[in-house]
Amino acid sequence: MRYQNERTSGCRISDAWTYRGLKTVVLENEILRVSVLADKGADIFELVHKQSDTDFMWRTPWSVRDVSKWVPSTGSGDGIWHDAYIGGWQTIAPTGGQPQEYAGADIGQHTEATLMPWDAQIIEDTPERVSAKFWVRTVRTPFWIEKTISLEANSPVLTVEDSLTNEAEETAEAEWGQHIALGEPFLTPNCVFDLPVADHFTPAEGPQAGNVRIKPGTSGVWPHAEAADGSAVDLRSFPPKSDRQADYSVFKNLSDGWYAVTNPDRGVGIGVVWPKETFSYLWYWQVFGGGTGYPWYNRTYNVGLEPFTSLASGIPEPGSDKRTAIVFQPGETRKATIKAVVYKSTTGVERIGSDGSVSLRA
């Protein structure tokens, strides 16, 4: 919109930006500012609460790079994805997790879609509401993916609407999720993690090696878990960076589809709500100063709290032989709406409604 009638109040949106050479769309209202890298997976790399100057999105140490301006030093599917990973929030589809073979095609870490430029268009631009639509057609997989991101005036709620269509003339599997990573300075050991009733398990062989927080091969019920030394772990809190822990676990059988992380020192928090019928798992990726060697080198403090349809690469749950990947019929489209909400609190959250309404803990 070259001749867009720009505003300085109410809801605002612009696609006239570039960040480090990448086309960027910026949405904001009186409460939030959201920046989306259209040229890199339509990643949400900035979600800022203006009043407290809090950006909830974690940023990797190497941050945003224009991948067209360098050649990776290896063809590793894991390395290529992590080299370009900026943190923040990605739509992961139609593959997710470790590198895998998909219908005869080699797919690297997570999905090709996050490494591709997406088309972008402003579809609504009023003082009351702004929306931008992003879309991409994948190459090694047969999917058309759309994402619409919206803000309303004076609202602390960011709405993300995903749509996946199988363009193949045969059935196609998919793992689909919201790859959301929170980090410093918002994330600290004083933060409170709230979640509804859920079961959880930690794979016997996780993606992280070394000093783990939760004993591999164990399961439990929120908020209790077993540590590697057999002691109890309270999952409502986060360990300090000095503990040098890194591991991965999964929540399932959630009674409701939401979570919240509150920083009592800043007095703000962020919650995410999703349809649990679609995203029945919540991946919990934890790097609390751990993760030796590439790419973390013990230098990051972050968590990924990621609603997903499936387990990584569609593998079965422990003790089962049934794949967890979802199956799309030829031409089938599926949609889901996810909301992120920012709130003020020092005590945490009792519940988040499907509309983003937050019930705070007294």
Any idea what DSSP says for residue 241?
G
Q: Which residues 6+ apart lie within 8 Å of 203 measured at CB? A: 216, 217, 248, 249, 250, 318
pLDDT in tens, 144-178: 999 999 999 999 999 999 999 999 999 999 999 99
pLDDT of residue 5: 77
Structural fold of domain 12-360: Beta-galactosidase; Chain A, domain 5 (2.70.98)
d(Cα 4, Cα 219) in Å, to the nearest integer? 54
Q: Taking residues 205-227, what's their average pLDDT?
A: 86
pLDDT of residue 68: 83
Q: Is the pLDDT of residue 209 over 60?
A: no
Are 237 and 189 spatial neighbours (Cβ–Cβ below 8 Å)?
yes
0.75 exceeded by the pTM?
A: yes
Q: Which DSSP helix (H) or strand (E) runs through 26?
A: strand 22-28
pLDDT of residue 204: 86
Comparing 271 with 229, the larger pLDDT belongs to: 271
Three-class SS state of 81: helix
Comparing 68 with 259, the larger pLDDT belongs to: 259
Q: Which DSSP helix (H) or strand (E) runs through 335?
A: strand 333-344
pLDDT of residue 206: 61
Q: Taking residues 190-195, what's their average pLDDT?
A: 98
pLDDT of residue 259: 98
Residues counted in the chain: 362
What ranges make up the beta strands (E) of 116-156? Answer: 119-125, 129-137, 143-152
pLDDT of residue 89: 98
360, burial (CB in 10 Å: exposed 0-12, middle 13-18, buried 19+): middle
pLDDT in tens, 30-60: 999 999 999 999 999 999 999 999 999 999 9
Q: How far is CA 320 from CA 30, 280, 317, in A?
A: 49, 16, 5
Q: Which DSSP helix (H) or strand (E) runs through 78?
A: helix 77-84
d(Cα 64, Cα 41) in Å, to the nearest integer? 12
Are 314 and 103 spatial neighbours (Cβ–Cβ below 8 Å)?
no
Q: Is the pLDDT of residue 285 over 60?
A: yes
pLDDT in tens, 318-361: 999 999 999 999 999 999 999 999 999 999 999 999 999 999 99
pLDDT of residue 207: 56
Comparing 4 with 28, the larger pLDDT belongs to: 28
Nearest to 196 by CA among 108, 267, 259: 259
Query: Rounded to the nearest 5°, which phi and psi values hold at 249?
Result: -140, 175
Residue owning tokens 């089938």: 332
> What confidence category does residue 287 fall into, taking pLDDT thresholds of 50, 70 and 90?
very high
pLDDT in tens, 76-127: 888 899 999 999 999 999 999 999 999 999 999 999 999 999 999 999 999 9
